[in-house]
């Protein structure tokens, strides 16, 4: 870090080097905090996220730590997780001590090792929860929430995320995500008259949680009904989920209307080429991509699940449909196509609504306020979770 910079250091821990919704929110967090503190971000590897973080004002340090994934949800997996944690914990503690961190900001519940490291290094920690695991057994949810008691404070990105945490969530502060508006040069106005084919786009990881398979089935139904529509899937899979992409490609086999576009660093390019944006998630703690589609001026069809219902109000700024229901998703898309003038008017309202409720300035302000409280608590004794009532790459040795 810049030795001439006398500001206090805030360390941010993140589980992925990729560039999807929660990853882009980390970039916004860095922009918020770099105005007041020296910011160091730890990632498990170098990747697409590194450069945007540096551009936002952070130093990036590669320090692999185990991330809670389904691969660990077995007796053998638990043993591997414990072994990996024992190897990584001393490195994490040394990093916090070496940088004389004034605070630690952990951007997920999936890397609880960092909260333990903060306790051992006597650094106050904040955990920003972007997950809402309602569909898992209660003991698993309790286990995921338990490490949060090592944090001084907890932020959540929606009411859905708070509810999924149980008792801890009732004391958490809701800070809705802040999404930067696109540069006007990145925005293409939607087509005033639809000429076939109608271009439907889903931006997000190829994942059962994101409902990519629901999208493929819905577009197939629309084509069977005589609608000339195409589907572009923008995104790739987590390592270990290659089987799901194979299933998707098998599901779409022989259908030229489905395009697998892979990962794209800019969501705005994808929306510029779209007529309708869909967010058919089965699980969605917030739904950055829904806000981004609104800001891009595209009519949105989203699942009525978790955080998406806190963003989309059916008939006002988008269309809501039941999750995990291809026929309902097809009906929702058709609803827009049958009244395209109404869809465009709704998209205009949605753009204004998204800018007002989910702007980056509001997010930056609320996040800085939360970290100020955390840094100010450094000399206080560590206790259970407390909250307010309101929301170049190098290896570490």
352-374, pLDDT tens digit by residue?
A: 999 999 999 999 999 999 999 99
pLDDT band of 392, cuts 50, 70, 90: very low
pLDDT band of 235, cuts 50, 70, 90: very high
- Catalogue the E-assigned strands of 83-241: 101-106, 125-129, 153-156, 173-174, 198-203, 229-234
Q: Which two tokens stand for residue 52?
A: 């945007």
Q: Same fold for the domain at 9-178+359-395 and the one at 184-357?
A: yes
- Size (the chain), residues: 397
- pTM, two decimals, is 0.83
Main-chain phi, psi angles of 133, to 5 degrees: -85, 70
pLDDT band of 132, cuts 50, 70, 90: confident
The whole-number average pLDDT for the span 130-142 is 72
CA distance 293 to 350: 9
CA distance 281 to 214: 9
Would you tell me the crossing angle of helices 326-338 and 212-224 to the nearest 10 degrees? Answer: 60
pLDDT greater than 80 at residue 136: no
Of residues 139 and 49, more confidently modeled = 49
Q: What pLDDT score does 379 carry?
A: 45
Superfamily of domain 9-178+359-395: Glycogen Phosphorylase B; (3.40.50.2000)
HEC string for 68-111: CCHHHCCHHHHHHHHHHHHHHHHHHHHHHHHCCEEEEEECCCCC
Instruction: Compute the half-sphere exposure of residue 251: CA atoms within 13 Å on the CB side of its CA.
Output: 19
Average pLDDT taken over every residue of the chain: 89
- 8 Å CB contact between 102 and 375: yes
Beta-carbon contacts of residue 250 (< 8 Å; ≥ 6 apart): none
Exposure string over 6-21, b if 16+ CB within 10 A, otherwise e: eeebbbbbbbbbbbbb
Superfamily of domain 184-357: Glycogen Phosphorylase B; (3.40.50.2000)
pLDDT tens-place string over residues 306-355: 999 999 999 999 999 999 999 999 999 999 999 999 999 999 999 999 99
Residue 44's CB is within 10 A of a number of other CB atoms, namely 18
Domain-by-domain residue ranges, the chain? 9-178+359-395, 184-357
pLDDT tens-place string over residues 198-212: 999 999 999 999 999
Q: Cα angle vertex 212, ends 48, 130, to 5°?
A: 55
The whole-number average pLDDT for the span 55-81 is 81
Q: Which two tokens stand for residue 292?
A: 């981004």
CA distance 58 to 69: 27
Tell me if residue 6 falls in helix, strand or coil: coil
Of residues 93 and 166, more confidently modeled = 93
pLDDT tens-place string over residues 81-130: 788 889 999 999 999 999 999 999 999 988 999 999 999 999 999 999 98
């Amino acid at each position: 870090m810049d030795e001439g910079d006398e500001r206090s250091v805030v360390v941010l821990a993140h589980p992925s080097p990729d560039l999807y919704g929660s990853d882009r929110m980390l970039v916004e967090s860095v922009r918020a905090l770099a105005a007041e503190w020296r910011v160091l971000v730890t990632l498990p590897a170098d990747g697409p996220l590194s450069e945007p973080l540096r551009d936002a004002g952070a130093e990036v340090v590669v320090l692999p730590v185990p991330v809670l994934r389904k691969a660990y949800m077995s007796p053998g997996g638990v043993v591997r997780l414990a072994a990996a944690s024992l190897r990584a914990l001393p490195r994490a503690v040394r990093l916090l001590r070496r940088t004389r961190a004034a605070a630690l900001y952990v951007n997920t519940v999936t890397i609880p090792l960092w909260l333990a490291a903060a306790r051992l290094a006597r650094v106050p920690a904040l955990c920003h929860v972007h997950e809402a695991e309602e569909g898992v057994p209660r003991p698993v949810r309790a286990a995921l929430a338990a490490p949060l008691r090592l944090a001084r404070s907890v932020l959540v990105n929606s009411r859905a995320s708070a509810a999924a945490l149980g008792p801890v969530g009732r004391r958490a502060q809701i800070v809705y995500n802040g999404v930067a508006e696109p540069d006007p040069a990145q925005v293409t106005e939607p087509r005033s008259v639809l000429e076939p084919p109608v271009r439907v786009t889903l931006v997000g990881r190829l994942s059962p949680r994101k409902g990519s398979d629901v999208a493929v089935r819905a577009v197939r139904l629309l084509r069977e009904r005589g609608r000339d529509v195409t589907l572009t899937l923008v995104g790739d899979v987590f390592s270990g989920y290659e089987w799901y992409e194979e299933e998707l490609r098998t599901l779409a086999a022989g259908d030229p209307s489905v395009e697998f576009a892979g990962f794209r660093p800019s969501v705005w390019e994808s929306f510029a080429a779209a007529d309708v944006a869909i967010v058919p998630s089965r699980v969605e703690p917030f739904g950055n991509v829904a806000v981004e589609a609104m800001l891009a001026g595209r009519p949105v069809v989203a699942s009525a699940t978790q955080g998406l219902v806190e963003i989309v109000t059916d008939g006002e700024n988008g269309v809501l449909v039941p999750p995990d229901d291809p026929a309902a998703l097809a009906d929702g898309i058709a609803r827009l196509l049958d009244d395209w003038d109404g869809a465009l008017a709704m998209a205009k309202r949605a753009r204004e609504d998204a800018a007002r409720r989910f702007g980056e300035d509001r997010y930056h302000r609320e996040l800085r306020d939360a970290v100020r409280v955390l840094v100010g608590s450094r000399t206080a004794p560590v206790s259970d979770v407390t909250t307010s009532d309101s929301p170049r790459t190098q290896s570490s040795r």
